[in-house]
Amino acid sequence: MVDVSISTIGKMGNIFNPGSPQYRRSVVVASIVSCTVVTGHTLLMDFGKQEHIFTSVQQYMNKKLDNYFQITDKEIQDYVKSQEYQQGVNIR
- The model's pLDDT over 37-92, given as tens digits with 9 standing for 90+, comes to 998 888 777 777 788 888 888 889 888 988 999 988 898 888 888 877 677 655 55
Q: What's the structural domain count of the chain?
A: 1
Q: Is residue 25 situated within a structural domain?
A: yes
Check pLDDT > 70 for residue 1: no
Q: Is residue 92 situated within a structural domain?
A: no
pTM reported for the whole predicted model:
0.46
Check residues 35 and 9 and name the one with the higher pLDDT: 35
Q: How confident is the model at residue 19 (pLDDT cuts 50, 70, 90)?
A: low
By residue range, what is the domain housing residue 41? 6-87
The torsion region of residue 48 among left (phi > 0), alpha (psi -120 to 50) and beta comes to left
| Average pLDDT score over residue span 32-38 | 94
Q: How many helices (H) and strands (E) does the chain have?
A: 4, 0
> How many angstroms from the chain centroid is the CA of residue 12?
32
Q: Is residue 1 situated within a structural domain?
A: no
Q: Is residue 26 situated within a structural domain?
A: yes
